[in-house]
């Protein structure tokens, strides 16, 4: 009977025992953190059954039947505006995230000491702040309307995609890059001819998935005045017009579902 672990260490050795001890210590720390968080939050779990019954009652009693007559006259233009914001935000996000990914990749950045940390810091900032917070800020700067929403969605795309694009560049095989460099090719040629053919399939998948994320985010920006259908959504909730809320949610779910199906189709055709 073998006494060797799956990773090649002797199970009786001191190194294997220390690794096992460290692994189980991490497990215990994670469990302790979970129980500590639960205790700190003091969650009233006894209220969950009543809350779920209230959710079912609201959907079946207050939102049903949906106000279908409300949609053609009041929702067409807001949904078009939402879709336009998501599209423009995605396009601008792609345009900006690609060079940022180049600057933020440790193996390809033109300036490791200056541009690399600045690009990484920018990606961290865009990813750290929630889109609602960004929307509140840009609405205060630009006023109510879709321009604030478009900027927020662009930042949302960059925060999601920029890091993933840069990590794919860092994982690329550098041998083609070194061959181009040895032949006298500059950094632009190294990136376009040496790296991009390797990362292209993954990048396209990230762009498509980023569109899904931006589209979902665009539906709620109107809650804080950044344009789109969120204005009608928050107005129907605050006015207790739950039949209108029901039709808005049905349309949102339908659009997101169609977007998901389209994304799957495009990924299969392109990747």
Cis, peptide link before residue 143, omega less than 30° from 0:
no
Reported as half-sphere exposure (CB side, CA atoms, 13 A), residue 110 has a value of 8
Give the model's confidence band at 255: pLDDT under 50 very low, under 70 low, under 90 confident, else very high.
confident
pLDDT digits (tens, 9 = 90+) for 136-188: 888 888 888 888 888 999 999 998 888 899 888 888 888 888 888 888 888 88
For range 125-136, the mean pLDDT: 87
In angstroms, the Cα distances linking 82 to 3, 10, 41, 87, 223 are 61, 60, 36, 9, 12
Provide the pLDDT for residue 78. 82
What percent of the chain has a predicted confidence (pLDDT) above 70? 93
Third-level CATH fold of 61-270? MetI-like fold (1.10.3720)
DSSP 58-113: IIIIIS-S--TTHHHHHTHHHHHHHHHHHHHHHHHHHHHHHHHHHHT-TTT-S-TT
Give the pair of three-digit tokens for residue 107: 């193996």
Give the pair of three-digit tokens for residue 116: 């690399």
Task: Determine the Cα–Cα distance for residues 210 and 96; give it in Å rounded to an integer.
Answer: 13
Place of tokens 């949302």: 156
Place of tokens 């762009």: 207
Beta bridge partners of 10: 4
Give the pair of three-digit tokens for residue 165: 């694009």
Reported as half-sphere exposure (CB side, CA atoms, 13 A), residue 237 has a value of 10
Sequence-distant (≥ 6) Cβ neighbours of residue 260 within 8 angstroms = 212
pLDDT digits (tens, 9 = 90+) for 59-114: 777 778 877 887 777 778 888 888 888 889 999 999 999 999 889 888 888 888 88
């Amino acid at each position: 009977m073998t006494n060797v672990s799956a990773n090649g260490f002797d199970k009786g050795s001191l190194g294997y025992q220390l690794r096992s001890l460290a692994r189980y210590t991490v497990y215990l720390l994670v469990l302790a953190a979970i129980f500590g968080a639960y205790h700190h939050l003091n969650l009233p779990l006894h209220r969950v059954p009543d809350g779920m019954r209230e959710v079912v009652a609201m959907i079946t009693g207050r939102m049903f039947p949906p106000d279908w007559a409300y949609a053609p006259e009041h929702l067409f233009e807001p949904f078009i505006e939402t879709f336009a914001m998501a599209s423009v935000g995605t396009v601008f996000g792609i345009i900006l995230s690609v060079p940022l990914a180049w600057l933020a990749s440790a193996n390809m950045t033109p300036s490791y000491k200056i541009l690399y940390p600045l690009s990484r810091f920018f990606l961290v900032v865009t990813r750290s702040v929630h889109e609602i917070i960004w929307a509140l800020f840009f609405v205060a700067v630009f006023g109510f309307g879709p321009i604030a929403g478009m900027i927020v969605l662009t930042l949302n795309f960059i925060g999601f995609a920029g890091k993933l694009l840069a990590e794919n560049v860092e994982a690329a095989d550098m041998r083609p890059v070194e061959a181009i460099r040895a032949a006298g090719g500059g950094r632009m040629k190294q990136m376009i001819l040496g790296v991009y053919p390797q990362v292209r399939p993954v990048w396209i998948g990230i762009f498509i998935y980023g569109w899904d994320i931006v589209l979902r985010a665009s539906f709620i920006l109107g809650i804080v005045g950044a344009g789109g259908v969120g204005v009608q959504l928050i107005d129907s909730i605050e006015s207790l017009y739950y039949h209108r809320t029901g039709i808005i949610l049905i349309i949102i779910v339908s659009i997101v579902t169609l977007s998901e199906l389209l994304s799957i189709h495009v990924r299969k055709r392109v990747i």
